[in-house]
Structure 1
């Protein structure tokens, strides 16, 4: 254990804990807020702030405390912030209330108040967010509503007075048709009614709000008054004259026909029939002209009414119907019956349409009223927000206006609708207050951001890290976009200030970008010159691209513009590389003679693969290997040369060849050797060495030299390979598993590090201190004579170098031969597996039927089975079943290393233990042929056959 204390264990002095030097002075505002700044936790600070707010501190104190506490604990400062926001909203509400109260008082002070202006004041105040439900706007709203109500009541009373005047006139007209004594009896009552009506009319005109009544009502009241007085004066005068005539028989009779006839009857004078005025006879031409004008006027009014009714125009159809009625009143006596009936039908249709439109308009108004009242009954979870409520109310009011345009107004439904909309507009008022408060806060934030950008631009004017500079500018832009919503007017005021500040801060960066763009244009010009050069310099291209990358990493540009510059820079270089690629492809497209031969051989191998014949496949593979090594091309050259030599005439002086002597072919053997170099893997044809030696001798002794080939260039003579000496005697390899026909390989012997070619125990070069080591003697001489040393190096330097290869294959030929060889090898493996399975099945069938003739041949069984082994198997199958094959099967499974069935595992372990004690006996891997013969000599069993099949699958493949 190790102590982490700095105190010395041997010291007996007590450990001294260092005291903190930091002072804990109380905050100046701590006493004001009741210890809010010295509280330990955020919850205690928030509680003390709430307690302090109950004392109603001044706004200045709250602002100062919020400024200090907001940077330390935003959670504790949240009640303070809410209180300040509430004060801001209240102050804004007071300002709006004072403003709209002044406007309302100005309307009330007018002697002539327009009802539309009063209703517009309430609507505009609600849109502006003024608190209509609070004083002083609530009282102003009530006063305006009362005055509007008084004005509407005056207008209604005017209409009532008009109807009363009409009724009084009708009463007077009815009395003129009755006896004059009845009229005299009700004269006083009727006079009192007329006087009362006049008093009410004078009271209406004397009202203080009479000047605010709609301009159409005073003339209507005056007209009704004048008409009533005229009728009353005429009635009173006729009645007085009737009374006088009744008292005095010589007095004049009244102008009322009924009363005059009654007085005549009392006087005994016969009643005079009413004299009808005779109409003057009209000229027929004038009468026809008048009828034509009347019909024309009625038809015009009728066509206008039919057009408006057909288009569904309510108000226009009402006006057209009134015009048609006036035309009928004026010209009804001059038109024919058919036109009059058509006009009455059109008036009936217009009346039906007017009634339907009035009913439909009232129905739509009731739907709007129900919808407006339903806004107040929504549950809290489905309540609409301020914006949606404002849009919905505006939409509903527009629908009401459209309904009023299509039909007569309904004041009762309008009052219900307007009250419901005003009540629902309180939600909009609260939302507008919140929006205004947020807008004021967002304005302050944006102003602070503008000042911060200006200060940052001054502080970082000398910054050269343009990436960091651009990153900061982007961050400022993001903060400006995320600073919250502003009104159009405020945004239009702040946007120029922001642009000026951000452009001033970005001036150094913009100058660096301008110079960087100029440098990049220069690099683009260099790239154009480099790409247009006849020889493309890769090193120059790499250097130019590195310069571009350095420039791009130092000064960032706008992404799209930078991409355009990069595309312009890359295009000439890409074009140059494309030209180079096209040239290379053109060169590769032209196949050489050797590529054509290889392609033909590959196609032949593909065809052999399709046949599934192993012999054809191997022959095709040999032909492809010869084509790859150049032997096929060499054979073609030799055949062409032979044909040319046979077709050439023979000279008479040339001696005839002897029957026992071989005549050399007129082909330069060195040329053939150069075209088709010998490989150590290719077997030599019989007599190849003799042919080569004779060709060499004939080339030097022939009188007439051979004519050189056009297709093969002359090459220096290559020494012929010596003929192999016949083997007289050799010692065969009699070790198990080795072939006796091959000589035994000598052991390496000697100690570690001795050379293979040095005798055992001989000294190595460099062991003698006077003899230089191999490293000091310089490089080994190269077998090729070029002095470059052995390419493979090491202790294999005495081996011959790699042989010369033919020209490199083209891409198409190389891929074709590789794919053909892979498919051929796969096909051979598949055929071999099939043949192996068939041979194994045939062997088991011969065992089952005890028929030796069905045993497969040695070639079918494979290289692991010799002819003697196959004979032993056939003898075992041909004989009678004899012996037990249990131990032989176990030995076969041990030799093949395959699992043994569970019931024979114990026997296999026992046999393995026994084999360990038999030191001189051969292992099962060497005696599996005899064990197989022992199994085949036993009786056939299906279980044994499966075990034999599993074993021989492995052993015959090894």
Structure 2
């Protein structure tokens, strides 16, 4: 059956016949039977059968694995949502398990999973692109809002088409088959971008319609866009306003080094070199060769630091000493053989015990060169030693084989690098022909930079080859950049013209609209034709200088106007200083009293406004519906009230309203209505026969002003917070606070004229520091109370337990009485379950030793119905823990849980 494998004379013949028999593909049972017979006679031949049997076993195992992993892949592909991490983990885990991924059916399943993953990743990438496109469209809308109304009307059609196309693309993304498999963070991002873009477009369209109506009708309100409002004002013959940026500080000049410091450096260098030089001269005089070499090395190290500060005489002395030290080392004949032996040892160490190189080719070449140079220098000072030379030369020749192989590799890499550079030059020539009619200068500049980077990273060449190719490359890249350089030259000329216009605008009266238009032209030019960064920055600074000077003049005038403090500002500043003094004392009572005093000083603004309102005309009855918001009198609400008063717009100056607001031109008189009755939230109906249904008063469903959530200040049909609508703005942006709701401008009538910048910032900073101090004092008191509680438990003293007021509102009198009884009674068994319930109620981690017990308790609590949870019974659990013995571990865990529970 085996073809004579058992009757063969030699082991080689037996192996050949067994291999021939295995080619006939016998069954596994026959191979096992033959293996049992041959393993006792010839183990070498039996090893062939063993390998074949193992291969069959592996194949069977791989078939089972293939079926198993194929089922897992099919389940993932048929699932409604495919997780990318699971798909990647399937391929990784299948490879670790030894499944045959290169054979069917796993090969096709791997390709299908890869295609699905790629499709999901493409969708995610498209979502990010859509987000960026939405931002760009919003920017285009914003830029269009800075142009004239006629230009905005012309550009509206193109923008409308782009917005519609963007929305259509977003719908296509969400309707894709693999959209449910996208990461959960991308759908909200796409929805947010869509909502934001839609809101911006709606606001822009509404503002444009308002601008057109304002142009057609003089009595129509001004549009909310500042540029369009100024344009309408100019058409009506009204004046416009502007603002100025803050003054920028000048950069300090760099100090220069004086002659005294130079002399000090020279003296220090002479002292440091003289000390080492004396040691070298001493060793040379005594003839110590080995010590002379070390001293000379130390002198060379000092010269690296102080060599440039030495005078001529000391420099000559150093040179002579180093020459003498070198001669002394060469004169020593006894030293020659020692140096040679060291060189032989170093040469033999270049190759390890197994003849493998200990370093790379370049470093090996440098070491061999240094060793041979050192051998030559040693031969110059003594008689030759042929035996050591043979050992040294043989070791160097053996190590040079590594260098030769490295040199061959370098030649091959050099040829490849040369071919790569030639291909790059041909690519640049073809690109130059393609871009002959293109005006996209930014992409051309980017491509030229990429070509330069690729040329720089194209690999190493010899100096001769690189010199030949570098001249060709410069000519090619110069021809490719010729059109771009011409465009840049023309752009510089246009920017010089803009600079001249900027100087004329800076010298004339300040016109913000003209400056914005000029800056927009500069920005358009900069985006169209890019320049070198240094050149572009220099031109921009020259262009910006006259405009900055104009704004600085405007800022200086404004600063002079607000230098004088009013009596109300002085009162607020004095109250802020008193609050800072109370804050420094660290007494919570004084801090709260000072906060109340500051609040009273701020309320003086509302009182002054009320006095002015009595003398003014009464507004129409229709305005009585808008009830002004009451000013908070508590110390905790003072910061929000101050922030709301800061941007008050009762009497704004012309230069403090850059965007303008027609509503602020004539201040409306504020009529204080009587305190309204409690609003009717719900009315109980009568469902008896013949009875009329009771109806709730209009506008009271769910809360004030007809809102379901009960938020004041907004009525049905009004959406003041929509993007694209802008409320009144007065003064500098940093002073307005932005702490009041966007839609509550009608509540600002009672607050009076706004504070000055100094007073507003003083009271705001003082109030913030006071609130921070109160929080720190509260945290400190909480820690002391918790420490006293733990001390009373440790000492078993119920009298030392903190009072219910000190424990806080989370602990009532009943709970404290239970804690007192638990501490005063004798120690019972430890309450491990109660401590676990406390950690669950406080949501703090449990130590690793008790983690399994906590999980078991959580499973047990899940099975209990209508039982109070740990968050409801934590005070009883604390009593159980306090009734037990005190130990460090339990005390630490209890203290960690109470830190969170007592603050609730």
Which TM bucket (shorter chain)?
0.3 to 0.5
Give the structure with higher Rg (CA): 1
Give the TM-score, by structure 1 length.
0.31
Give the TM-score, by structure 2 length.
0.32
